[in-house]
Structure 1
Amino acid sequence: MAPYFGLRGSSLTIAISIIAATGFGLQGYDQTVANGLLTLPTFLHTFPETKDSTIQGTTVAIYEVGCAIGALTCAFVGDIFGRTRTIFSAGCIVLIGIILESTSFDLPQLIVSRVICGLGVGAFTATIPMYVSESVNARKRGRLVLTQGFFAVGGIVLASWIEFGLYFLPNNPVNWRFPFAFQAVFALIATIFILFMPESPRWLVKRDRLDDARTIVGCLEDQPEDSDTVAHEMNIMLETFAEEQRSSANVFSMGPERLFHRAVLAVLVNTLAQMSGVNIVTFYSTTILEEHLGYSGTISRVVTGCIQIWQFLSAGLAILIIDRFGRRKLLMMGAAGLCIAQTGLAGCTSHLSSTSVSGAAIFFYFVAMFCFPIGLFLLPFMYAAEIAPLPIRAKVAAAASCANWLFNFLVAEVTPTATANIGYRYYIVYAVINFTSFFVFYFFYPETKGRTLEEIDNIFIQSKNIFDPVRIEKNMPKGELQVADTEKAVAIEVEERA
């Protein structure tokens, strides 16, 4: 059989994107699956401890702890195993967790299984955006990476409606066991098919497997290995990697490439995305609609399902506009929109005296779920992978993903207790954070739309302080990167082989 199912060029990059996106479909599904199960009588009968708000928060949030550990592990194993084998290993771990989760009969088993699932999903989120960013060209990178977000939201929608359908089996534990077990569909697709996809050519360059890298670049570009296009791409990768190797590869050092600066930006964008407070809706919308806004179990689940469908459509819009508006504008739009949504929710939940006020609160849920997938869902993962230089890309992507999951855990853990104790004031906290995030994105985050990863390196190399990257990017024409001539590229290749 021909390698990669005989796919080349655009067909191969689309296949890479879709298979990788299946891993994010699992992430979205797994992140939401507990939402509609927490109030089911059969679930509460098996796990009566979760009636306590603190234990409920821990049961939901412990998954994020596993994700954070799994993501951080990729800082050490990602450059050893490579991108595809790391994704495969993560899928195997997830499958073990799913088996334990869907067969749980007591709370300790459920908690352990959610940690194990989290280990694999965290590795997915640290590796997949990096793998796709390194494998596709700059013109298509935004749309193809955000396809993962589209699949992730699709997983959220699917979880919501599967739970709604099984809600009408009130006395059968299948209504919570099957939603947990269904995660295996996503995990199996990602785990099996990633074995048939090419390795990242940039990782191969880093491992001095230049012939393999050249072959894969030829497949991705649908060009012969000895073509000028392949030679051009290889020259850029070789020269950039050689220059980066001559300097420090310590993520905590600054150096001419401003490594620490870029690592901070990658971690901060993921932190701010989770501190937008959107997971109040993702994790607890059904519970809040039932217990705080006074809706019935059926209506609460229908509304939650509709909110997730709306988020799914918004994620589709993000794919269409990411390479038109760019990363920076969408980050700012997401922060501004969520600031408005959280402010509105604070106002509505402070006066729950009528059904019209409850309806207004639901409207602001829809506002939040429009802005988040467009600007703050998957875009931070992608941005972290884009701005990190190759020698430390795995470490930076892992740290950024770990931060995303740790603050995800924080929101999931404190929300039940916070909503019970401080009520509407809880939303004000996130409104202030989103207001601040808007200006952080404006002043410190350069645009990466249409830039090769090597051009993004050059933006930071030219920067002298934290404010420079935005200004330099605006003034730098695309394609400005100076490519070494053929003789220099050959010399670098000989040096790398020596």
Structure 2
Amino acid sequence: MVATTTYNLTIVLFVALSALTYGYAFSVFSTSIGQPAFYEYFNLEQEGPGAAHTASILGVLNSLFSAGAAFGAISMAWLPDWIGRKYTIVTAASISLVGGALVTGSVNIPMMIVMRFIHGIGVGQCITITPIYLSEVAPPSRRGFLTGQNAVALVFGYLLSAWVGYGTYFSSNGTFAWRFPLALSCLFPLILLAGSPWVPESPRWLIWHDRVDKAWMIVEKLHHDATDPTQRMAKEEFFQMRTQIDFDRTQDLSMSYMFKTPSLRRRVFLGCGVLLGSQACGALVINNYSVVLYQGLGMTGSMPLLMYALYIVVGMIFNIVSSLIIDRVGRRTLFLVGWTSTAITLSFETALVAKFAGTDNRGGNAAAVFFLFLFVTMYGSCIDGTAYVYCAEVFPTMYRAKGMALGLFTYYSASIAFLTPAATAIDNIGCVTRNPIPRRLG
């Protein structure tokens, strides 16, 4: 068994900043729309005759971000194989940095819509390249755990955005309250760019491009065993890489071939289906509109932002649990438990929201909040990180980048269908207009 070295773990955790970049950027907007000053600055109405227009604007802002992420994801079908995994990470971080800065500086809704799309491209690239890279630098025996750090970092980004949004709610400067959380999205790609010179290229990509000596130096450092002077396990891993890549060179690596070949086509359907299934659970809709959902369940002031932050804490905890048990329990078992439990949980949640949203029934509203937290417990434990790991693993090495690109393109394309009507739907059932966040003084 190849050891997990400190150096290997350090590289994995640092590159996972790319997933954190995505997680923070994707989640932070849900806290900005929880700030009263956001609506004041853009002349949007939370209640009254303009509320429907506001809901449609929020739907466009969220769906265009997902559309950008879909374009970013599909670009990973060729970019990592062309310029390498390392420089793909640099490219994704650069676009995320520029996009985040321009979103922060938006002065009107049309500008924000366009900049959210550009920002989405960058973070869509970030979240697609991360599991590809992590799976290629991890030893096979620990691949589930190390690749699972992708989901842990992603949810940690959710966590940071939630608590930053909650903290800035109390600022006397309304513009700072919604702009600062957006501005903070630039920090993580900036750190990633600053540290990128020390990130090694994927040894598999180097072998493919006949840089065998450089690839061995990286493998030896990643999987070095201090108790074995011959480095037998690292050499066996390296031999397996070279043998696999020698075979890969004889294959047709085009995307069209993936759909023509039954075994590869089945893998495409599995990878895309798993990520589509993780999206169809409704996790992104709940995440992006948590604040307005909590408002509809009778919470006012800063309480919806606080509950959203606690919701993310629970998700973070159970994503860590998932990364620890995934190699023992298995991917399929986690999926079966996760999809069954989230379906049951959302059935109860839907019934409770339909009956009690906008009412003064504290018991019914509390039960609805409980099922939201139960949902994220099961989703984080069984589906969130497992889907990324499974999609990265189900494809042979030479098709991994294309497979992940197709899978996440499917994921974000589906999110457009879910997120675009969600704000209007929530408005129609009363969650937005019945309990708007009160305006602060000062």
Tell me the residue number matched to 1:306.
310
Asked if 1:199 is matched to 2:229, the reply is no
Tell me the residue number matched to 1:493.
none
Matches within 5 A, 1:353-364: 353=359, 354-364=361-371
Asked if 1:213 is matched to 2:221, the reply is no
Matches within 5 A, 1:188-337: 188-222=190-224, 227-253=231-257, 258-290=263-295, 292-337=296-341
Q: Which amino acid aligns with 2:138?
A: V
Q: Which amino acid aligns with 1:76?
A: W
Q: Which amino acid aligns with 1:312?
A: M
Tell me the residue number matched to 1:403.
410
Q: Which amino acid aligns with 1:331?
A: F
Q: Which amino acid aligns with 1:119?
A: I
Please give the secondary structure, in 2, of the residue aligned with 1:115. helix
- Cα distance, 1:22 vs structure 2: 1.3
Task: State how far apart, in whole Å, the 2-side matches of 1:43 and 1:276 are.
Answer: 29
Task: State how far apart, in whole Å, the 2-side matches of 1:381 and 1:241 are.
Answer: 23
Structure 1 contact 252–260 (Cα < 8 Å) conserved: no
Tell me the residue number matched to 1:78.
80
Structure 2 contact 207–215 (Cα < 8 Å) conserved: yes
Q: Which amino acid aligns with 1:339?
A: A
Counterpart of 1:24 (choices 19, 37, 40) is: 19
Output one character per residue of 1:380-417: Cα deviation in whole Å (capped at 9) or x when no partner. 22211111112222111111121122222322212112
Please give the secondary structure, in 1, of the residue aligned with 2:106. coil
Output one character per residue of 1:235-294: Cα deviation in whole Å (capped at 9) or x when no partner. 22222222233233233436778222112211111111111111222100111221x222
Tell me the residue number matched to 1:62.
64
- Cα distance, 1:9 vs structure 2: 5.8
Please give the secondary structure, in 2, of the residue aligned with 1:75. coil
Task: State how far apart, in whole Å, the 2-side matches of 1:299 and 1:227 are.
Answer: 56
Tell me the residue number matched to 1:100.
102
Q: Which runs of 5+ in 2 are unaligned?
A: 46-50, 432-442
Tell me the residue number matched to 1:496.
none
Please give the secondary structure, in 1, of the residue aligned with 2:32. coil
Tell me the residue number matched to 1:35.
30
Give the TM-score normalised by structure 2. Answer: 0.89
Q: Which amino acid aligns with 1:274?
A: Q
Task: State how far apart, in whole Å, the 2-side matches of 1:133 and 1:186 are.
Answer: 21
Structure 1 contact 88–195 (Cα < 8 Å) conserved: no
- Cα distance, 1:378 vs structure 2: 2.7
Equivalent residue pairs, number: 416
Matches within 5 A, 1:30-179: 30-49=25-44, 51=51, 52-169=54-171, 171-179=173-181
Superposed CA RMSD: 2.2
Q: Which amino acid aligns with 2:25?
A: D
Task: State how far apart, in whole Å, the 2-side matches of 1:150 and 1:246 are.
Answer: 37
- Cα distance, 1:422 vs structure 2: 6.7
Structure 1 contact 88–192 (Cα < 8 Å) conserved: no
Structure 1 contact 125–381 (Cα < 8 Å) conserved: no
Structure 2 contact 138–147 (Cα < 8 Å) conserved: no
- Cα distance, 1:28 vs structure 2: 1.5
Matches within 5 A, 1:456-475: none
Please give the secondary structure, in 2, of the residue aligned with 1:148. helix
Task: State how far apart, in whole Å, the 1-side matches of 2:196 and 2:387 are.
Answer: 23
Task: State how far apart, in whole Å, the 2-side matches of 1:215 and 1:257 are.
Answer: 37
Structure 1 contact 93–120 (Cα < 8 Å) conserved: yes
Inter-CA distance 235–257: structure 2 relative to 1 (3 Å threshold): farther
Please give the secondary structure, in 2, of the residue aligned with 1:90. helix
- Cα distance, 1:185 vs structure 2: 1.9
Tell me the residue number matched to 1:341.
345
Q: Percent identity?
A: 28
- Cα distance, 1:25 vs structure 2: 1.5
Give the TM-score normalised by structure 1. Answer: 0.79
Please give the secondary structure, in 1, of the residue aligned with 2:107. coil
- Cα distance, 1:14 vs structure 2: 0.5
Please give the secondary structure, in 1, of the residue aligned with 2:76. helix
- Cα distance, 1:10 vs structure 2: 0.7
Q: Which runs of 5+ in 1 are unaligned?
A: 1-7, 425-498
Task: State how far apart, in whole Å, the 2-side matches of 1:69 and 1:369 are.
Answer: 27
Task: State how far apart, in whole Å, the 2-side matches of 1:412 and 1:66 are.
Answer: 14
Tell me the residue number matched to 1:494.
none
Q: Which amino acid aligns with 2:324?
A: L
Structure 1 contact 26–152 (Cα < 8 Å) conserved: yes
Structure 2 contact 95–118 (Cα < 8 Å) conserved: yes
Structure 2 contact 70–121 (Cα < 8 Å) conserved: yes
- Cα distance, 1:170 vs structure 2: 5.2
- Cα distance, 1:75 vs structure 2: 1.0
Task: State how far apart, in whole Å, the 1-side matches of 2:7 and 2:74 are.
Answer: 29
Structure 2 contact 224–231 (Cα < 8 Å) conserved: no
- Cα distance, 1:17 vs structure 2: 1.3
Structure 2 contact 73–128 (Cα < 8 Å) conserved: yes
Q: Highest relative contact order (Cα 8 Å, sep 6+), 1 or 2?
A: 2
- Cα distance, 1:86 vs structure 2: 0.3
Task: State how far apart, in whole Å, the 2-side matches of 1:226 and 1:316 are.
Answer: 34
Counterpart of 1:382 (choices 354, 365, 389) is: 389
Task: State how far apart, in whole Å, the 2-side matches of 1:265 and 1:413 are.
Answer: 26
Output one character per residue of 1:331-353: Cα deviation in whole Å (capped at 9) or x when no partner. 22221221121111122112115
Structure 2 contact 73–124 (Cα < 8 Å) conserved: yes
- Cα distance, 1:177 vs structure 2: 0.7
Structure 2 contact 342–379 (Cα < 8 Å) conserved: yes
Q: Which amino acid aligns with 1:284?
A: Y
Please give the secondary structure, in 1, of the residue aligned with 2:174. coil
Task: State how far apart, in whole Å, the 1-side matches of 2:317 and 2:68 are.
Answer: 29
Inter-CA distance 12–389: structure 2 relative to 1 (3 Å threshold): same
